[in-house]
Structure 1
């Protein structure tokens, strides 16, 4: 016999049906928490309005999208803060007061999580963050504002500086991305490898590279001017890896160690004089 189909559990089924509180009960619970610290009264007030927090999280997610768990958590934090601060003597319902705190917590979370770079949290910047795209879209649709005056019009409507509008648009243009992701058109490279090092002395490095190239080019020219045996002995003693000893060179050329030393010193002296003459020629 087939078992009856059970629909999957959703956030609606996971949440108990909310208790309906009339105004008198609501005020009595708020006073019990405020005056006596009755946590059971506070928790009952919160539990009765959890659906309010969940609805705000759904609105923040957008049509057709499930609310993020972190957003739901922030909405519940806002609800908790509202219960902590609610004053029943002011004469309005708890849901009206809690809706403001829930919305504020969700907005704060969205601003904090938008970028690793911290956004300002002043009222003006919050207004700009949440209304920039809406105001810009409306102004573009009306066609009344020229493109070169768009930032000024947005700034005037939202009561912020023009520079803040441009900076916020740039921040909202793209979310943070990993520097380890592959670079387009650079096989095997990552984005971080293509970033410019602000502390790098590019001109100095290029200049030093050119100087080294010129130096070794000069060395090669002077080495070619040496007699063949002196050149070979100098290269074998100072350039070749591993360098040859006087005994090994004497055996290779069929001469004594002292003769090898004399040829090596003569070759070095020739190079020293050649570099000295070159340096003198470049002096002003």
Structure 2
């Protein structure tokens, strides 16, 4: 069976043979490797913020030595890749100058590579010059929270470098995105925005098999919007791309779970990660790598009846 969603209509359930072969493949065909990683099971992207002001761990890992030590811990804990960011995109955050963002990120990436860290690394940035510097320093992929909308030059950099890219949905910038977010239909609005950005990326020379999509939980969305997206995450397989979920320690986890302090939101974050895995999410972007890896191992064992 397949659920059919349309604007202004209640969800309908249709038999699978109502779909064309192309539609079935778009929804459920195995995704090719991305950034060198097989996507036959959920993979963990460990968050490494080298910022002084990120909402959860600001200042904890800035500087090459502390970043390298934390990267080693996440690698040992089971992270499949690292996501390094030099600009906080928490609600209310201000834009960081390009030069400062490069100075925070490129040397850390270069130091990790020099130290023998071989995991794929994504650079979490909206800015083309930051992405260019990070890729030159040894980054593998680009994670753009604006879906390459903030900086028109980003698509050219990603295409020229043949880099994998994450396109994330957001409504507005960090300064204002949580002021009063509104949607006609949050599921279909986010889906259609990402569909348009994927199409634009293809026109720019970035093939679909190098694109991962992220519905942007917590970015320009209320608690109700977040829950609507999480309830039907599987919709985003319709884009024919791998899907990433980044809900770790987000504000809605704290509000629902009664955890005001971001670092106390690990259990709720793991619960959301497992809900995403159950809907076929390919990549989970998390702060708490060891806990999420353990939870996934048990979830997979219970689901398949086989221990890993």
Q: Tell me, yes or no, whether TM beats 0.5.
A: no
More strand as a share of residues:
2
Query: Greater helix percent: which structure?
Result: 1
TM-score range relative to shorter protein:
under 0.3
Query: Which one scores higher on RCO, CA 8 angstroms, separation ≥ 6?
Result: 2
Rg: which structure is higher? 1
